[in-house]
Structure 1
Amino acid sequence: MAVPRRDPTENTKRTRGILGLTAAIAAVGIILVAIAFPDDEQTATLPTTSTPVPSHPQDVEESWQADPADSVLAPGFDPYPPTFKLPDATTLTGDAISASLKLEQDATPFGGTVGFSFEGADLASPMWDPDNSNLNEMLAAVENPVIRFGGLKGDRRVWWTSANEPAPSWAEATVTPTDLENVAAVADEVDASVTLVVSLARYDPDRAADMAAHARAIFGDRLLAITIGNEPNGYFLEGEPDRSVRDKTWDTNAYQDGLEEYAAAIESASPGTPISGPGAYDATWWRAFADSSVANQTAMSMHWYPLWDCSGPASSTANPTLEDLTSPKLRESARNIVGMGAETAEQYDLPLWIEETGPTSCSGGNETSRTHAQSLWTTDYVLTAAELGAERIAFHSTLAACEGGAPMSPICATGTYSDPGTIVQGRTSYLALMQLSWIPDGNMLTPTVSGDGTVMVHGVFGADGSLTLVVSDLRDPASGAEALPVTVSAPSGLGADAPGSWSPASGSLLTGESLAAQESSLTALVPVEPRLAALSLSAAEPLTIATQPGSTTMLVLKPNS
Structure 2
Amino acid sequence: MPAKKKMKRIVAATGILAIVAGAALAVPLVIGTPSSTPEPAQTASSAAATASKVLPPAPAVTYYEQAGPPAGSPLEQVEPLKVDVSKDQMGTSLNKGLTGISLEATDLADPDLSSSNATMVKLLKEADQPVLRFGGNAVDRRFFWTSSGEALPSTYRGDAAHPAKAVGPADLTRLNTLLEAADAKVSLTVDLGHFNPARAADMAKNASQIFGDRLLSITVGNEPNGFVFNDARTDGYSLEKYVSELKAYAAAIYAVAPNVPISGPGAYDQKWWQPFIDADIPQKKILSFHLYPQYSCDGSDPKGSPTIANVMSRLMHDRAAEYQQAAVKAGRAAGLETWVPETGIAACFGSNETSRTHASALWTADYALNAAQLGITRIGFHSSLLTCKGGPPMSAICSGGKYPEGNGQMSGRANFFGMSMVAELNAGKFLKLNSSGGGLTFSYALQNEDGSTTVVLVNENNPEKAAQTEVTLNLPGQALTGTMSQLTGPSYAAEDKTVIDGAKSEPVPLAQRATVPGFTYGSESQKFKLTAGTVTVLNFTY
With normalisation by structure 1, the TM-score equals 0.79
Match of 1:425 in 2: 411
Is the 1:87–1:546 Cα contact (8 Å) retained in structure 2? Answer: no
Alpha-carbon offset, residue 483 of structure 1:
0.5
Q: How far, CA to CA, are the matches of 2:150 and 2:270 in structure 1?
A: 38
* Closer, same or farther: CA 532–194 of 1 in aligned 2, 3 Å: farther
| Secondary structure, aligned partner of 2:377 | strand
Q: How far, CA to CA, are the matches of 2:201 and 2:393 in structure 1?
A: 34
| Secondary structure, aligned partner of 1:542 | strand
Is the 1:536–1:543 Cα contact (8 Å) retained in structure 2? Answer: no
Structural mapping, 1:529-544, within 5 Å: 529=515, 532-536=518-522, 541-544=524-527
Match of 2:315 in 1: 329
Highest CA radius of gyration, 1 or 2? 2
Match of 1:527 among 502, 510, 513: 513
* Closer, same or farther: CA 141–88 of 1 in aligned 2, 3 Å: closer
Q: How far, CA to CA, are the matches of 1:369 and 1:384 in structure 2?
A: 21
Alpha-carbon offset, residue 272 of structure 1:
2.6
Match of 1:451 in 2: 437
* Closer, same or farther: CA 488–80 of 1 in aligned 2, 3 Å: closer
Percent identity reads 35
* Closer, same or farther: CA 531–507 of 1 in aligned 2, 3 Å: closer
Match of 1:39 in 2: none
Is the 2:79–2:439 Cα contact (8 Å) retained in structure 1? Answer: no
Q: How far, CA to CA, are the matches of 2:362 and 2:381 in structure 1?
A: 14
Give per-residue Cα distances to partners, 1:117-153, cap 9 Å, x unaligned.
Answer: 1111111111123334521111111111121111110
Q: Is residue 411 of structure 1 aligned with residue 397 of structure 2?
A: yes
Alpha-carbon offset, residue 294 of structure 1:
1.1
Match of 1:511 among 476, 484, 488: 488
With normalisation by structure 2, the TM-score equals 0.81
Alpha-carbon offset, residue 504 of structure 1:
4.0
* Closer, same or farther: CA 453–282 of 1 in aligned 2, 3 Å: farther
Is the 2:294–2:306 Cα contact (8 Å) retained in structure 1? Answer: yes
Match of 2:282 in 1: 295
Match of 1:108 among 93, 98, 120: 93
Match of 1:268 in 2: 255
Alpha-carbon offset, residue 503 of structure 1:
4.0
* Closer, same or farther: CA 95–384 of 1 in aligned 2, 3 Å: same
Is the 1:85–1:532 Cα contact (8 Å) retained in structure 2? Answer: no
| Secondary structure, aligned partner of 1:477 | coil
* Closer, same or farther: CA 503–429 of 1 in aligned 2, 3 Å: farther
Q: Is residue 306 of structure 1 aligned with residue 298 of structure 2?
A: no
Is the 2:83–2:473 Cα contact (8 Å) retained in structure 1? Answer: yes
Q: How far, CA to CA, are the matches of 2:302 and 2:89 in structure 1?
A: 34
Q: How far, CA to CA, are the matches of 1:531 and 1:408 in structure 2?
A: 35
* Closer, same or farther: CA 163–444 of 1 in aligned 2, 3 Å: same
Match of 1:167 in 2: 152
Is the 1:466–1:556 Cα contact (8 Å) retained in structure 2? Answer: yes
Q: How far, CA to CA, are the matches of 1:530 and 1:251 in structure 2?
A: 56
Match of 2:428 among 442, 450, 459: 442
Structural mapping, 1:383-422, within 5 Å: 383-422=369-408
Give per-residue Cα distances to partners, 1:425-455, cap 9 Å, x unaligned.
Answer: 1111111122211111112234432237501
* Closer, same or farther: CA 533–96 of 1 in aligned 2, 3 Å: closer
Q: How far, CA to CA, are the matches of 1:452 and 1:93 in structure 2?
A: 10
Is the 1:328–1:452 Cα contact (8 Å) retained in structure 2? Answer: no
Q: How far, CA to CA, are the matches of 2:111 and 2:335 in structure 1?
A: 39
Match of 1:482 among 467, 470, 478: 467
Match of 2:140 among 155, 158, 161: 155
Is the 1:387–1:446 Cα contact (8 Å) retained in structure 2? Answer: no
Match of 1:376 in 2: 362
Structural mapping, 1:182-331, within 5 Å: 182-237=174-229, 243-247=230-234, 249-313=236-300, 316-331=302-317
* Closer, same or farther: CA 335–213 of 1 in aligned 2, 3 Å: same
Match of 2:454 in 1: 468
Q: Any stretches of 5+ residues in structure 1 without a counterpart?
A: 1-23, 26-52, 58-78, 238-242, 492-499
Letter in 1 for 2:151: P
Is the 2:90–2:430 Cα contact (8 Å) retained in structure 1? Answer: no
Give the length in aligned residue pairs: 467
Q: Any stretches of 5+ residues in structure 2 without a counterpart?
A: 8-30, 35-61, 69-75, 158-163, 502-506
Letter in 2 for 1:488: L
